[in-house]
A and B are shown apart, each in its own frame.
Chain A
Amino acid sequence: MEILFFAAIVAYFAATMLQSVGAMMDRNKLTRAARAIFIAGFALHTAFTAWRGFAAGRLPLANQFEFASGFSWSAAIMGIVLYARLKQNWVMTVSMPVAFLVLSYAAFQPMEIKELMPALRSTWFALHIGSATFSYASFAIAGGLGARYLAMLKKGHADSETAMKQTDYMTYRLICLGFLLLTVVILSGAIWAEQAWSRWWSWDPKETWALITWILYAIYLHQRMRMKWQGKRMAWFAVIAVVCVLFTFAGVNKLLPGLHSYAV
């Protein structure tokens, strides 16, 4: 069944390439093909995830491989839903590489199915980790949109002021969504930790970095409001903040072991 997983990576890769070329050359046929391949890849990815859930007899989000796969899956579905709503090609140009890169990272993680650790057997598991995958995916796509904004600025896309405004606005909206979900992650994590270890908060490195990420995005939201910062500065902010998200997602597990180290 791992074949489904690798087929999904290949599909995401092909879609990303076609989409980039299609978007660069303004070829609708190519981007349409890219979307079809991406959706096919997403179907494979979903089938793989469902199979893994059945095989393991639990939600497949229990270790770094499964979590990364969930992160990529969330990015893919968010891209598809956003495209369906906005009908804007650039949504795909950004979500496809996010889904592809995160799934490729997953491919380098140990893949074997393991029994769920007793500490993870909780009703809070689904809410805590499920929101985390969607939160990270929102931030990652927002970072991608920030990068797109900067690229447009460099190219001097004067022809599409609306597109730039829309990109800037979507970056902000995705950060709002990611922030709300990250709040759910942190609060449900606190309730869970109290059930499991009797303490809501232990300043464990993963918790601390989730808090750092949360505050960083709170600063983003305030700066946008207080200084009326928009456009270039906020795009840079969104891009740089993704580094913090990625560190919270993967770096902490590898470099700063703590209570969450089972997620390695």
Chain B
Amino acid sequence: MKKVLSFLRSMKFGMILLVLVIACSFAGSMIVQQRDAMEYVRRYGEDAAQLILALGLDDVFSAPYFIVLMAALCLNLILCSIVRLPRTMRAKKALISRAETAKTDTPLDEGQAGKLCAFFEKRHYSRYKAGDRIIYFKNSIGFYGSFITHFSFLLILLVGAAAVMTADVRDQTVMPGETLELEGGISIRVDSFQIVDETGLLDYASTLTVSDDIGKTVTREIRVNEPLSFEGYKIYQQTYGTAGAVRIKNLETGVSEDMKLTEACFLTLDGVSGMFYQALYPGYVTDSDGSVTLITSTSGAYTDPVYDIVSVSGGAMTPVLAFPDETLTIGNVSFTMLDPVSYPGLRIKHMNPLVLGLLYATFVLMVAGLYLCFFAAPLAVAADDDGYVILSPKTQTGLMIELEALLKEE
């Protein structure tokens, strides 16, 4: 049992786990992820596809073995951190007592002790006397560097998982002018949506008015990189779409109504004749021979929109291409095609601000831990009349060479 425990908390086990994470990440980046089985057969052939699916390599990062691997890494980090903290404390004390007694290993000539003293003073080492030797000391906080690094890595994994699992995310399309009600009395109104085309680079922006039930209101434009934060909600400009629009008028009663067309549909009053809406195209090009080709790419602005519709009247079906402002009269009903309407797809995320703050704090902690590990390693130099010795948990080749050069200087 003891042996198992000591393996589970060992650095060796940690390194094995890290190699396995690399192997999974490699597979996950080389093999396309989360596609359907046929896609794998098409890309890699039947045998390879079978293997990929059997090993779960089509979705490595959600596969049970990857989750187990991450859990094992957390366990390893917890165990080794628990063991290491008291050891770190002891090491701190041990370094000082070692400095008081350790044998010097580099001789000092007469007069060189002063040089050494000046050098360490310039570098802001603290200094104290222990018997006939002087101990120069620096960076005792550096002892905690690797503990902080490992602990913060553990926290990033745990708090990151908590942040993802506790976030409530939903995607919603909202037409300009419409309002979306959220629980807790918060409402999001899309005032307007625009696609700005900067020579091929498309920027999508929505102007939102968000308010709560006690009268707090914020109006702001959102776009990529600029979500709106409001009372724990974050609202992102995620996607967009373009819908056709039509004004339908009953010529007998004079009643008319505007409708948005987001998918193929049959618009009719009597169930027999009417307009069948198929699609909306963003534009068209006229070839040299006068023939027209529709642009089918739906990304970007709809510069010359064309409606693809079918007029259904008395059993006859006539395909028609119509432009905005054109009117089609079928029986007693007129259909006037209007300018298309672009609308945003919003992503609305609700997150516990405490979890978010904690996550960012762990990020800062990790950078601080690494800084302490690498650039603030604890260091003691004990010097007496005969010589000096450098003591540190880290290799100090740099200081060693620097001191040698210093003492060689005339």
Give A contacts to B, CB under 8 Å: 115, 117-119, 121-122, 162, 165-166, 168-169, 172-173, 176-177, 179-180, 183-184, 187, 190-192, 195-198, 200-201, 203, 205, 208-209, 211-212, 215-216, 218-219, 222-223, 225-226, 230, 252, 256
Contact = CB atoms under 8 A, between A and B. Distances in A.
Given A187-B363, A222-B14, A180 B374 contact: yes
B398 interface: yes
A203 B395 contact: no
Contacts of A215: 18, 21-22, 25
A191 B360 contact: yes
B401 interface: yes
A72 B356 CA distance: 36
Contacts of A226: 11-12, 15
Contact of B22 (A177, A187, A216, A223): A216
A195 B225 contact: yes
26 contacts: A115-B201, A118-B201, A121-B224, A162-B401, A166-B397, A169-B395, A173-B374, A179-B374, A180-B370, A192-B225, A195-B225, A196-B225, A197-B224, A198-B236, A198-B347, A200-B160, A200-B164, A205-B29, A209-B29, A211-B21, A212-B25, A222-B15, A223-B15, A226-B11, A230-B395, A256-B29
Contacts, number: 106
B349 interface: yes
Nearest to B32: A256
B366 interface: yes
Given A119-B225, A203-B61, A219-B18, 4 more contacts: A119-B224, A168-B397, A187-B366, A226-B15
B202 interface: yes
Given A198-B349, A215-B22, A219-B19, A122 B225 contact: yes
A117 to B, nearest CB: 6
What secondary structure prevails in chain B residues at the interface with A?
Answer: helix
B253 interface: no
A118 B370 contact: no
Contact of A208 (B18, B29, B160, B373): B29
Interface of B: 11-12, 14-15, 18-19, 21-22, 25-26, 28-30, 33, 61, 160, 163-164, 169, 198-199, 201-204, 223-227, 234, 236, 238, 347, 349, 360, 363, 366-367, 370-371, 373-375, 395, 397-398, 401, 404
A117 B199 CA distance: 11
A169 B28 contact: no
Chain A to chain B: the 8 pairs with minimum beta-carbon distance, closest first: A169-B397, A176-B374, A118-B203, A208-B29, A122-B225, A187-B363, A205-B29, A180-B370
B198 A115 contact: yes
